[in-house]
Structure formats: C-alpha cells, structure tokens
Amino acid sequence: MSDHQEQVAVKEKPAEGFVPKIVAFTCNFCAYAAADLAGSTRTEYPVNIKLIRVPCTGRVDVVHLLKAFEHGADGVYVAGCLEGNCHFAEGNYWAKRRVRYAKKILDEIGVGSRRLEMFNLSAAMFGRFVEVANIMNDRITEMGPSPLNKK
C-alpha cells in the first residue's frame, strides 16, 4: 500500500452537500473478502468508502492512519478478522492497539478520536461489512468534514 494509493483513494470530487471521504483498511482474509461477497450478492454499501487491501490488519501502522487524515480523509476505519481468528495469529490485536494509540493522537491534535474506529468481522459476514460501512458513513456525515478539510 503506497502513499500514492492512499492519495488516490481520498481525492475524489465531493458531491453536492457533504459526502465524507472515508478510508477503510481491510484485511485480505476477512473484511476485503466480505466486501467482495457484498458485491457478489449485490448488497449496496456507501460508495464514498474507499477500501485499501492489506495482507493483515497487523500491517497497518499508526503512521498510515495519520497519513490518511493528513491527505484529506474525514474518517478512517480498520476492519480485521474476528478476535482469535487472525490468519497471522495476532495481527488484529496489534491493529486494535495501534488504533487506540492513534485515537489518542487524533484527540491531541484536535481531529477527534471518533473519526477512527476498528471493527472485527469474518469473510462470510458481508451483512456486517455493510452495517459497519453505514455506521461509519452516518457517524462522519453527522460530524461533518475533518477540521483539516475546513481550512
């Protein structure tokens, strides 16, 4: 996952009214497959959510989460395997800890920790994937654009 990929993911033209730019870091073995399944079953989820596929959520570092906000994301979430079911044993636990750490930084810099979240789901849970996408979309829409995008 390169910086370029991140920038492409968030530099979409805003539609009328506020449509948040949301970046989702999704694990190849669960959330990404669940998104695929949602597509196969023609279940809709918000189009303004841009997925970044990672080999495991353990690959996601604090700096990736911050860079997403720096490059214009209004919300970011990480979707990994169910706890205890990580393909690499404990990558999703690492991700959860890093999300917690990044939340602290987001509060400190005034972006707000609610703009970042971690979710756990399995490859079969496409319904949950759509639900999570809607939860984040609704939350960020309600919160409005990131303070960095207002200036």
Partner 1 sequence: MIVAEQKPMEEIAEMIKDFNKILILGCGGCVSVCLSGGEKEVGIMASALKMFVKNNQNRDIEIKEMTISRQCDWEYFDMVKDAMAEVEACVCIGCGAGVQGLVDVYPNVPIFPGLNTGGLAVGKVPGVWEERCAGCGNCILHLTGGLCPIARCSKHILNGPCGGSEKGMCEVDPKTIECVWHLIYERLKSIGKLDNIYKIMPMKDWSTSSDGGVRHLTREDMAKLDAEEEHKKNVELEKKAEEAEAAAKSQG
Q: State the residues that interact with partner 1 by CB under 8 A.
A: 61-63, 66-67, 69-70, 105, 108-111, 147-148, 151
| Residues whose CB falls within 8 Å of the CB of residue 114, separated by 6 or more in sequence, listed in order | 139, 143
Give min distance, CB of 42 to partner 1, in A: 38
| Calpha distance 101→133 (Å, rounded) | 22
Give min distance, CB of 111 to partner 1, in A: 6
| Calpha distance 40→79 (Å, rounded) | 19
Give min distance, CB of 69 to partner 1, in A: 6
Of residues 31 and 73, the one with the C-beta less far from partner 1: 73
Backbone φ and ψ of 22, nearest 5°: -120, 130
Is the separation of the CB atoms in 67 and 6 below 8 Å?
A: yes
Give min distance, CB of 20 to partner 1, in A: 17
Of residues 61 and 131, the one with the C-beta less far from partner 1: 61
Of residues 66 and 143, the one with the C-beta less far from partner 1: 66
Is the separation of the CB atoms in 29 and 87 below 8 Å?
A: yes
